[in-house]
Structures are given as C-alpha cells and as structure tokens.
C-alpha cells in the first residue's frame, strides 16, 4: 500500500507537526505503532479511526500529555518529543472540554495568559477578543456548569485560541453535542480555522465529520496509520480493506488477483481492474453502493462488469431505495451487494431477478 502524499496537498515548507516512527506502549499494549506523519502549516487535519485505534494517544503525544516510547516528534522543526506540555506551542480542546469548574468563563479563558505572565489590561483585551471570536459575550461571569454543551465547547475553544497556539489540537470536540448542533459547529469550526489560520488537528471516530471538515484525513486502526490523503482520495481510493470499509459504506466483493489487470470474483465474473498486487493474492473489489446500477436481468450494458442476482431485501429511505442483491444460491456463503437507487424509479420487489453493473473507474482493489 503506498501512502499517497505527493499529490494530495501534502505540506510544503516546515511542517507544523512531523512524526517519524512514533510509537507509544502502555505496558504490553501498543497504542500507537510506528507512525510517520507530516502535517502542514495551516492544515485542517483529521485523525480518523474507531475507538481504541490510537488516535487520541497520537494527539496527546503532540500535546505532551503522553511521551512517545520511541520516535521523533517535531513541532515547526523543533524536537519536542520529551518536552512537558507547558513548554509546547500547542493547545488542546479536550473531549468533554475539561473546563475548570471552580472558575468563571472569563477566568477559564484567561488561565493560559495568566500562566504565561500576561495580566491586567492586556489580558483583559485578549480575553475579550477570544470571547468575541467564539460569540460568548455576556457569559463571562458564568460558571461552566451554568452553560449548555455548545457554550462549554466555545469556552474550551476560546481558552485554547486565546494563547495563539501554533497548532490547535481537538479531541472529539463535537462528540458531546447533539446532531443538529454538531452540524452547525462543523461549519463554524471550519470557518474559525480559516479566520485564525492556525493548524488544526482534529481527532474523530465519525468519518462523515472527518470528510466534511478536513483538508486531509489520516485513517488509523490498531495503532497504525493506514492511509493519509484528501477526503476524496481516501473515499475513492482506499488503501486497504479496512479503510474502504470504514470510510462510507461499500461492497467488498471477494476475489483473487489474476494479474495486473484482472480480478476473479468469487461471485463468478472476472473484472478488469488496475492493481499492483501480485497474481494469486486474495483481494476484494470495493464498489460504493451509489455507484452500482440496477438493471432487469440480462439488460446490463455491454462492456461494463456485471453480475446477476435477485433482490434480497429492500429498504425505503425517502430519497432513495437501498436494495440488497444476492448473487448465486441464497443462504450462507452467497455474495450480496448493496445498491442505492434514487427514488423515482419503480420499487423492485423482493425475489425479482436483476443484474447489477458498475463503471470500473469508480472501484478499487483492496487487500488486507
């Protein structure tokens, strides 16, 4: 698997964060396993993966809250791997915010300034500026417990941004918000990042959030960084089976590579593909449900890869139908493919014989 950074808006100049062979072990558990990563100045970068994949530990190592077991870590060219958090030019928006419950909003925001010896009128001015930036005017004298989740999140943002960090780290910042607020905050965070021009590194398990907000995404699983690329790259050209399955929904059609241009599917057909995998390697073809076309049995256009099956299940979503098409004998072992069809066409009944086809350009061959 080649991790594609050359063509993906990868960092130019001194990277904001640079990791080489970074690992973190807690006892026998390897939380982060030899991660290499460069994040550019001004990038909005998402670390994406399921819980326990090591993304938060990676973030905490950048913050200095965990010290890497091995590897090099530089922030704007400066080796910081063993520095304590208070010496690093980064600030964190913590999961669940970690606001100081014994202080007011204004005192929370002023904390970092105070610790750096900025006091009096200058501190007041900067606190007012940060408060305005996150639109919390009028809340200065409240306690965190008197604020809503969304407001607390803004306090956490202001408390970090008031220090003008070189890199802002965000650990699942939207995780505690309800869906509607989360969507609002996605747009707002993106706008905020453009406004302040600071590198944002953002940890999330929500792939939609990662795709919607970030310039580039790093997908992690079991401590390893599997793929780094723009949202389009990781969605359209997943580096392996895990990424294909984790980002969006996909059909993984199992098969065996038959050479550089062909994949023999277990479901029967041999499809034309482009792959670097050696012949004989077990691999899967990732076909996105929205890229699959449904036809009456035998009516598929010539030339395109095509499979025959019957409708196994149909779900109506309002704006679309989702069909599950079963290939071959029903029962265990049968390959199924999920198809997403726009509403408008007549609904297909369960058991109806159909053919499915797709354009080869929209598919990717993935191995483990």
Interface residues toward other proteins, by CB under 8 A: 26, 31, 56-57, 60, 63-65, 84-86, 90-92, 94, 96, 98-102, 111-112, 115-116, 143-147, 149, 152, 159-160, 163, 176
| SS3 state at 196 | helix
User: Residue holding tokens 């409240």?
Assistant: 142
Task: For other proteins, give the closer residue by CB, 176 or 322.
Answer: 176
Task: For other proteins, give the closer residue by CB, 99 or 327.
Answer: 99
Distance of closest approach, residue 295 Cβ to other proteins, in angstroms: 51
Distance of closest approach, residue 85 Cβ to other proteins, in angstroms: 4
Distance of closest approach, residue 94 Cβ to other proteins, in angstroms: 6
Task: For other proteins, give the closer residue by CB, 95 or 281.
Answer: 95
Task: For other proteins, give the closer residue by CB, 32 or 273.
Answer: 32
Contact 297, 308 (CB under 8 A): yes
Structure tokens at 136: 């919390």
Q: What is each CA distance from 168 to 120, 220, 297, in whole angstroms?
A: 25, 20, 54
Partners of residue 47 on adjacent β-strands:
203, 218
Task: Note the helical H segments in the chain.
Answer: 55-63, 105-115, 120-133, 149-161, 179-196, 207-213, 231-236, 241-246
Distance of closest approach, residue 210 Cβ to other proteins, in angstroms: 21
Distance of closest approach, residue 56 Cβ to other proteins, in angstroms: 7
Structure tokens at 76: 């704007």
Distance of closest approach, residue 27 Cβ to other proteins, in angstroms: 11
Strands (E), the chain: 17-26, 29-39, 44-48, 70-75, 78-79, 90-93, 167-171, 199-204, 216-221, 224-229, 251-257, 262-265, 270-272, 282-287, 293-296, 306-316, 320-326, 336-342, 353-357, 364-366
Partners of residue 357 on adjacent β-strands:
293, 306
Task: For other proteins, give the closer residue by CB, 149 or 353.
Answer: 149
Distance of closest approach, residue 357 Cβ to other proteins, in angstroms: 47
| Alpha-carbon span 323 to 360, nearest angstrom | 21
Task: For other proteins, give the closer residue by CB, 168 or 285.
Answer: 168
Task: For other proteins, give the closer residue by CB, 110 or 273.
Answer: 110
- Of 225, 224, 188, the closest CA to residue 39 belongs to 225
């Amino acid at each position: 698997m080649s991790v594609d950074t050359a063509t993906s808006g990868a960092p130019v100049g001194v990277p904001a964060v640079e990791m080489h062979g970074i690992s973190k072990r807690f006892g026998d558990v390897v939380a982060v396993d030899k991660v290499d990563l460069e994040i550019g100045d001004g990038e909005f970068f998402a670390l994406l993966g399921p819980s326990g994949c090591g993304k938060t530990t990676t973030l905490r190592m950048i913050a200095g809250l965990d010290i890497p077991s091995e590897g090099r870590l530089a922030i704007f060219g400066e080796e910081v791997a063993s520095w304590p958090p208070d010496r690093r030019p980064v600030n964190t928006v913590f999961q669940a915010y970690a606001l100081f419950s014994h202080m007011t909003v204004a005192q929370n925001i002023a904390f970092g300034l105070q610790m750096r010896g900025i006091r009096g009128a200058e501190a007041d001015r900067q606190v007012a500026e940060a408060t305005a930036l996150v639109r919390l005017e009028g809340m200065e004298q409240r306690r965190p417990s008197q604020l809503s989740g969304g407001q607390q999140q803004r306090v956490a943002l202001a408390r970090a941004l008031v220090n003008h960090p070189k890199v802002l780290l965000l650990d699942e910042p939207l995780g505690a918000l309800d869906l509607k607020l989360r969507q609002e905050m996605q747009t707002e965070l993106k706008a905020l990042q453009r406004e302040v021009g600071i590198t944002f590194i953002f940890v999330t398990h929500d792939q939609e959030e990662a795709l919607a907000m970030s310039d580039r995404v790093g997908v992690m699983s079991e401590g390893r960084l599997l793929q780094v690329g723009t949202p389009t790259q990781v969605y359209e050209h997943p580096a392996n089976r895990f990424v294909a399955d984790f980002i969006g929904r996909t059909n993984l059609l199992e098969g065996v590579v038959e050479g550089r241009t062909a994949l023999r599917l277990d479901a029967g057909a041999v499809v034309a593909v482009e792959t670097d995998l050696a012949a004989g390697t077990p691999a899967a073809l990732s076909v996105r449900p929205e890229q699959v076309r449904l036809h009456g049995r035998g009516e598929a256009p010539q030339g395109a890869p095509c499979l025959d099956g019957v409708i196994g299940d149909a779900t109506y979503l309002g704006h679309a139908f989702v069909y599950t098409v079963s290939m071959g004998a029903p029962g265990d072992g049968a390959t199924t493919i999920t198809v997403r069809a726009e509403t408008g066409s007549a609904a297909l009944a369960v058991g109806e014989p159909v053919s499915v086809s797709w354009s080869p350009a929209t598919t990717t061959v993935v191995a483990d």
